[in-house]
Amino acid sequence: MTIEARLKELGISLPQAAAPVASYQPVVIHGGVAHVSGQLPFVDGALVTGRLGADVELSQGIEAARACGLMILAQLKEVGVLERVERVVKLGAFVNSTPDFVDQPKVANGASDLMFEVFADKGRHARAAVGVPSLPLGAAVEVDAVIAIADA
Amino acid sequence: MTIEARLKELGISLPQAAAPVASYQPVVIHGGVAHVSGQLPFVDGALVTGRLGADVELSQGIEAARACGLMILAQLKEVGVLERVERVVKLGAFVNSTPDFVDQPKVANGASDLMFEVFADKGRHARAAVGVPSLPLGAAVEVDAVIAIADA
Amino acid sequence: MTIEARLKELGISLPQAAAPVASYQPVVIHGGVAHVSGQLPFVDGALVTGRLGADVELSQGIEAARACGLMILAQLKEVGVLERVERVVKLGAFVNSTPDFVDQPKVANGASDLMFEVFADKGRHARAAVGVPSLPLGAAVEVDAVIAIADA
């Protein structure tokens, strides 16, 4: 089954791949590895902003992380390698957090669970999840990725 | 000398490899490189929590970073590649910090010095050390790693 | 044109490569990829300290990020691989930020634009830019890098 078919089966439609907010590229592929820039969470076209522990509920944070994951997939599709994902190697999850919010792993699971849903065992990855005081445009979560890509 | 023998010589016993707090893997190996998930500091089985610049002293922070490093080694052993470490390539150290704490490098040395003790020149790595306002479960430090693994 | 010639053309003189603040290496090269440790911003030999959203203006933050980028180039030159840069693969930008500062991408552009100026298309990279509450020695910005290096 193709990944596109799997996404359809899951009822997932990918967002429009976001243009970089600045002078860099969404994806650089070198040596069979795609480095995906930090992606922000767009739900129904709107950026999810705010801070976990303050104005963003845990469930909203999880959904935001999942939205970051969907944007990672959209970026891979945009550069034509979505069907050639060999392994999701590493996710880096940056969670906009108050000093007393400590559930970054639960939030990051929004992205992690998505990768497993879509890619099964190939979606199992290493991860770092940390709190940050602020993110671009006030985003609630940012996730970057290292993805192994099979030869064409 | 094996790494296990070197650890014994140093009087180091590795902790039990911690299960992931969430839906990801502790280690993913691809293309001869092990990506180790962010590890938290366990000393005598208890998580070291708190914040540098507030309730965690510098010496405790250094010990916590060392404990993160030990957990990285434990994870490598768990997946059977500890004896095949070819090079510690990169460590990422996230230090739970108040806004006025600026000694992240000293804290991160707890992990860096461990790698040099255990692997000698193969343990010399690139590093980024930054402050963060909060970490999973309230941990004082989190360290992730990129480790080159020799062919079996 | 060599990179040294291009730097001269741009009127850029690289800073003295900073010694690591701690027990790690500025650059580790493995498998054709240079991992550059997080570099701090030195302008005219002085560290740029402070926090975006408080005592550091946006323009100063951009200059600081550019200074981090110059230090990355200086470190590559120091280990003899500046002329062999094949691709700037990824930059990680950590911006010392108040909780309400959300222009990390604009700040990080200081480093990103430099890479494009110096390396043209080879300088186009993936990137993650996040806010942090504190950095080593009170630095305003820290940038690390993954750089593909061509065979000698």
Question: Rounded CA gap, A86 and A97, in Å?
Answer: 32
Beta bridge mates, A28: A35
Confidence of residue C22 (pLDDT cuts 50, 70, 90): low
Interface of C with A (CB under 8 A): 31-33, 53, 86-87, 89-91, 97-106, 108-109, 112-113, 116, 124-133, 146, 148
The yes-or-no verdict on residue B148 having pLDDT over 80 is: yes
- DSSP-derived secondary structure letter, A15: P
**ipTM for the complex shown:** 0.96
Contacts with A130 from chain B: Cβ below 8 Å: 38, 94, 132, 134-136, 142
What would the CATH number be for the domain defined by C3-9+28-149?
Answer: 3.30.1330.40
Output the pLDDT for position C35: 98
Please give the average per-residue pLDDT across A127-150, as a whole number.
98
Output the pLDDT for position C7: 94
Residues 6+ apart with CB under 8 A from B39: B18, B26, B68, B69, B71, B72, B75, B142, B143, B144, B145
Contacts with B51 from chain A: Cβ below 8 Å: 99
What pLDDT digit, counting tens, does each position of A16-39 carry? Answer: 998 876 678 999 999 999 999 999
A to B CB pairs, distance under 8 Å: 93
The rounded mean pLDDT for chain A is 96
Sign of the torsion formed by the C-alpha atoms of B110, B114, B120 and B122: negative
Output the pLDDT for position B21: 64
How does DSSP assign B4-28, residue by residue?
Answer: HHHHHHTT--PPPPPPPSSSS-SEE
Q: What percent of chain B has pLDDT over 70?
A: 99
What pLDDT digit, counting tens, does each position of C60-76 carry? Answer: 999 999 999 999 999 99
Cβ atoms B27, B34 nearer than 8 A = yes
| Best of C101, C106, C127, C135 to mutate (most A CBs within 10 Å, chain A) | C127
Nearest residue of chain B to residue C40 (CA atoms): B128
Output the pLDDT for position A23: 74
Output the pLDDT for position C19: 85
The rounded mean pLDDT for chain B is 96
Beta bridge mates, B27: B36
Output the pLDDT for position C77: 96
CATH code 3.20.20.150 for A27-149? no
Residues 6+ apart with CB under 8 A from C113: A23, C66
What pLDDT digit, counting tens, does each position of B40-63 carry? Answer: 999 999 999 999 999 999 999 999
What pLDDT digit, counting tens, does each position of A43-98 carry? Answer: 999 999 999 999 999 999 999 999 999 999 999 999 999 999 999 999 999 999 99
Confidence of residue C21 (pLDDT cuts 50, 70, 90): low
Confidence of residue B22 (pLDDT cuts 50, 70, 90): low
Nearest CB among B32, B90, B105 relative to C21 is that of B105
Q: What percent of chain C has pLDDT over 90?
A: 94
Output the pLDDT for position A22: 64
Output the pLDDT for position B23: 74
| Best of A30, A56, A97, A135 to mutate (most C CBs within 10 Å, chain C) | A30
CA angle B74-B94-B75, nearest 5°? 10
Closest CA relative to residue A93, chosen from A124, A62, A120? A62
Nearest CB among A104, A132, A148 relative to B30 is that of A148
- Which architecture, in CATH terms, is B3-14+28-149? 2-Layer Sandwich (3.30)
| Best of C62, C66, C109, C130 to mutate (most A CBs within 10 Å, chain A) | C130
**Beta-carbon separation of A105 and B138 below 8 A:** no
Question: Rounded CA gap, B124 and B67, in Å?
Answer: 18
Domain boundaries, chain B: 3-14+28-149
Residues 6+ apart with CB under 8 A from B146: B33, B34, B35, B36, B89, B90, C35
Confidence of residue C23 (pLDDT cuts 50, 70, 90): confident
What pLDDT digit, counting tens, does each position of B97-146 carry? Answer: 999 999 999 999 999 999 999 999 999 999 999 999 999 999 999 999 99
Contacts with C27 from chain B: Cβ below 8 Å: 126
Nearest CB among C25, C133, C137 relative to B126 is that of C25
Confidence of residue A1 (pLDDT cuts 50, 70, 90): confident
Cβ atoms C96, C108 nearer than 8 A = no
**Beta-carbon separation of A125 and B38 below 8 A:** no
What pLDDT digit, counting tens, does each position of C73-124 carry? Answer: 999 999 999 999 999 999 999 999 999 999 999 999 999 999 999 999 999 9
Residues 6+ apart with CB under 8 A from C127: A20, A22, A24, A37, A38, C90, C91, C92, C93, C108, C112
The yes-or-no verdict on residue A140 having pLDDT over 90 is: yes
